Amino acid sequence: MLTQNLGYPRIGSHRELKKVCENYWAAKTGHKTVLQVGKNIRQENWQMQKQTGIAIIPSNDFSFYDQVLDHSLMFGAIPKRYNEVILKKGNTELDLYFAMARGYQQDGLDIIAMEMTKWFDTNYHYLVPEFYKNQQFKLFSTKIIDEFYEAKQLGITTKPVLIGPISYLLLGKEKENGFEKIDLIKNLLPVYIDILTRLDALNVEYVQFDEPFLALDLNEKEQKAFQETYRQISNAFPRLKIVLATYFDALDNNTELAASLPITVLHIDLVRAPQQLDKVLEVLGDRTILSLGLVDGRNIWKNDFENSLSIIDHAVKKIGEERVWIAPSCSLIHSPCDLDNETNEKTLTPEIKQWMAFAKQKIAEVVVLKQLATKEQGTAAETKFAENKLAQQNRKTSDLIHNPEVKTRVKAIVTKDAERLNVFSTRKMKQRAALNLPAYTTTTIGSFPQTTEVRSWRAKYKKGDLSQKQYDDLIADETAKAVKWQEEIGLDVLVHGEFERNDMVEYFGEQLEGFTFSKNGWVQSYGSRCVKPPIIYGDVKRPEPMTLNWTVYAQSLTSKYMKGMLTGPVTILQWSFVRNDQPRAETCTQIALAIRDEVCDLEKAGIKIIQIDEPAIREGLPLRKEAWQNYLNWAIKAFRISASGVQDETQIHTHMCYSEFNDIIKNIADMDADVITIETSRSQMELLDVFADFNYPNEIGPGVYDIHSPRVPKREEMIHLLKKAKAVIPQEQLWVNPDCGLKTRGWDETKKALIEMVEAAKEMRKD
C-alpha cells in the first residue's frame, strides 16, 4: 500500500511567491530572483513530503500563476497577439507568460490578457486556452522536464503532473466557428508524446494525468477521445505507469470508461463522492491500482480516521492491499499551507484548532492512515489514532457549535420571506421615479485600491499601534477623498471604497457569530491574489450591524446615491471553509438571515441602493447537471431571503464575475435583483448573448474593462464594448461599470480608467 499526493500549495507558507511576483511586476526585483524563490518553494515542498513519508511525490504542480496557463505555454498555444512580446528585446519566457495572464501595456504595445474563469466549482481561477480551427501545437516550454530533473538532483524521484489532454481541450474555448475543440486532439497528442518521450528518457516511473472532466457529463465524441488517446499513450510507452486522477465528483456514468483505460492507477475523490466506491470496485481491471482520495483537499477539518479506515478496509478486502493507495481527495492547492503557523490563540482558539488540518498536516494524515491500515509504526500510530478520535468527539459535543435561537429562526421561514413586495416591472417604475438616474448610469463594483498605506493602518491597528479613534479617522479621511473624487469625475452612483475591509468575505465573517479565522491560512485565488477564507464552525448569527456606520457616513458626504455594499450568503458560504457536520443549505440560510438584517438596517438609514454581491453563485453549481436543481433551489432562495425585506423603491443590485451563465440564466433571473453587474470585457461582451437570447427583464451592467489586468483601456475601446452591448440589450436596461472591484489595482491606473469610463458613458448618451 503506497501513499501519494496529487499537488501541493505553490504560494509558500508565508506567501513568498505572491510577494516576489508583485515586486517583479512593479520592477522592484529581477527575473532571477523570481525564479529562485520559485525554486526554493518547490524544493521545500518536495523535501517536506519526503520527510513525512509520502511515497509518490508530485512535480510540475508548482506554477508562477496558473497550471492551465503553464500548459498553454508548454504546448505553444500562445495567441498571436503576444508575438510582439516574444520578439521584444530583453523579454524572457516569464514576461511572455505574465503578459498572457495579465495583459501587456508597455514599449508601445497594448495587448489584452487571456480570459479567466473558475476552476470547476472552486474559487481558483484559471486562464482559458484559446483554440482555432486546425490549430497546431508544439513543445514551447520544458518546465515539466526541468522540474523533474531539479527534484532528481535533490535525490527525489517525483511523479510529473500533467493536465490530461482531453481535460485541457475541454477547459478551453473555440475562438472561431466551424470546429469543435475536442477535434484538436489529433494535433495536441503528438506534443504529449514528445513530452512523455523526454520524461521516459529520464527514467520517470509514474506520470499523473489530471482528467477532472471524467467527473462531468461527456458526449460520445469526448468518450471516444478518452479511449483512443490513452490507447495511443499506452502503446507508445508500455513502461510508463499512468496515474489517472479524477476529483470533485463521482465518475458515475463514466465509471466503466475510466476503468477500461490502459492505466496503472485510478484515483477517485471519496470526500466529495464516497458513494462511487462500490461501483468502481466492481468494474476495476484486475491489475489496476485504486487510489483512495480520503483526506479532504478542499476543507480544513481533520480527517476522521475511523471512517477512513473502514473505507480502506472495504477496498482491501475487495482488491487486496497491494492494489490500494492512500491520497488526498484532490490537489492541496485549495488548502492553506501549515497549521503550525497558527500560533495566536486569540485568533484561533485551541479548542477549534484541534479540529483542523492544513496541507502539511493533511500530508501527515495520509501517511498515518497508511500506517494504521497496514499496522505499521505500532504504538506511535495508535496514539495518533486515539488523539484523532478524541478530537472528533470533542467537536461533536462542543457547546460552541449550536445556537437554538438561530435554528428556530430558520425553521420559521415562510414563502413571503423570499419574495419582494411586487414584481420587477412595478418596482422599476417606482425606482426610476424615486432615483431619477441618467441613461447609461455609471458606477463601480464597490472597492477602491487598498494601498500599502491603507493596509499598514490596519496592521498597526491590529497590533495596537493605532487606537480605534486614530484608525477610524484615517479610514474616514480616505473615504472622504474617494467620495469627493467620484463626484469630481462625474460618477452617478457612488461607493464608499471599502477601505475598512480586509476582504469581501472575511470582513463579514469577523462580525458574525459562528465564524473564526486563521492568521496565515492563505490560499491562491488567481495569480498572486491570495485569500484567507473564514472558517464557519458553528451556527451563524449577526449580533449587530456590520456596514451601517461607514455607509451612512459616506452618504452624509454627498448628495448623490451611495451604494450599500454587502457580500451575499452563497458567496460567503462558497468562499469560506464550511462546517461539514450539517447540510450546506442550512448554513447558507443562516447567513442569508444575517445579511437580510443588514439590508433592512441600511434601508432604514436612508440608503436607496444596496448591492449584495454573489460572484460565487455559478461556482457552487454541482458538476453533474442532475444535481443542479437541488443546489439552485436553496442558493437562489438564500439570496432572495437576504434581499426581500425592503420596499419597492429600494434598488437591489448583485454582482457576478468570471462565470458562464448560459445554463442557469433562468435561475439568475429568478434571483430577481433589480440590477446585475457582470464580467464581460475579457470575453468582448460574448457573455451578453445569453441575456439577450433569454430576454432578461431586469437591468444589466456589463463590465466595460478588465480590472484583473493593469492596463488602462482607451475610451474608444469601452465605447466599442457598450455599442456591442446596446446591440443585444435595450439601452434603458444598461449600466456602465468595470468588471469587478478595484481593490487590487493602483490608484493611478484606476483613476485613468474610470475617467475614460465616465466619458464613454457620456458619449453613449449623446446618441
What the chain holds in terms of domains, given with CATH numbers, is 2-79+114-397 (3.20.20.210), 426-447+483-766 (3.20.20.210)
657 is in an annotated binding site: yes
Measured between alpha carbons, how far is residue 716 from residues 138, 607, 763, 764 in Å?
A: 36, 34, 10, 11
613 is in an annotated binding site: yes
Amino acid type, 205: E
Distance CA 269, CA 120 (A): 14
Distance CA 12, CA 24 (A): 17
Contact 206, 159 (CB under 8 A): yes
Question: What confidence score (pLDDT) does residue 636 get?
Answer: 97
Question: What confidence score (pLDDT) does residue 686 get?
Answer: 72
**3-state SS assignment for residue 169:** helix
Question: What confidence score (pLDDT) does residue 682 get?
Answer: 64
The tens digit of pLDDT for each residue in 63-103 reads: 999 999 999 999 999 999 999 998 888 899 999 999 999 99
* Per annotation, catalytic residue among 71, 334, 496, 708: 708
Residue 156 main-chain phi, psi, to 5 deg: -120, 115
Contact 588, 573 (CB under 8 A): yes
498 is in an annotated binding site: yes
Distance CA 265, CA 497 (A): 51
Query: CA torsion angle for 52, 54, 58, 62 (degrees, to 10)?
Result: -20
Cell 480520503 -> residue: 294
447 is in an annotated binding site: yes
**3-state SS assignment for residue 325:** strand
Amino acid type, 60: N
446 is in an annotated binding site: yes
Distance CA 271, CA 250 (A): 10
Question: What confidence score (pLDDT) does residue 688 get?
Answer: 77
365 is in an annotated binding site: no
Contact 521, 578 (CB under 8 A): no
Beta strand ranges found along 568-650 (DSSP E) = 577-578, 609-613
Question: What confidence score (pLDDT) does residue 695 get?
Answer: 87
17 is in an annotated binding site: yes
530 is in an annotated binding site: yes
Distance CA 643, CA 568 (A): 9
Look up residue 127 and give its three cell numbers: 486562464
670 is in an annotated binding site: yes
Residues facing residue 577 across a β-bridge = 535
Element (H, E) at 487: helix 468-489
Distance CA 687, CA 659 (A): 9
**3-state SS assignment for residue 537:** strand
Question: What confidence score (pLDDT) does residue 54 get?
Answer: 98
400 is in an annotated binding site: no
362 is in an annotated binding site: no
Active site residue 708: yes
514 is in an annotated binding site: no
529 is in an annotated binding site: yes
Helices (H), 130-267: 143-153, 165-171, 185-201, 220-236, 255-260
432 is in an annotated binding site: no
The residue among 423, 431, 417 whose CA lies nearest residue 643 is 417
15 is in an annotated binding site: yes
CA 765 to chain centre: 37
Distance CA 338, CA 340 (A): 5
The residue among 276, 196, 266, 270 whose CA lies nearest residue 226 is 266
445 is in an annotated binding site: yes
Element (H, E) at 104: strand 104-106
Show Cβ contacts of residue 518 under 8 Å, excluding neighbours closer than 6 positions. Answer: 336, 342, 347, 348, 532, 535
pTM, 2 dp: 0.90
Question: What confidence score (pLDDT) does residue 295 get?
Answer: 98
Rounded average pLDDT per 10-residue block, the chain, 767 residues: 98 97 96 97 98 98 98 97 88 95 90 92 94 97 97 97 98 95 98 98 97 97 98 97 98 97 98 97 96 98 98 97 98 98 92 97 98 87 94 92 95 97 97 96 93 93 94 96 97 96 91 95 94 95 97 98 97 96 96 98 98 91 93 97 97 83 87 91 72 88 84 91 90 92 91 96 93
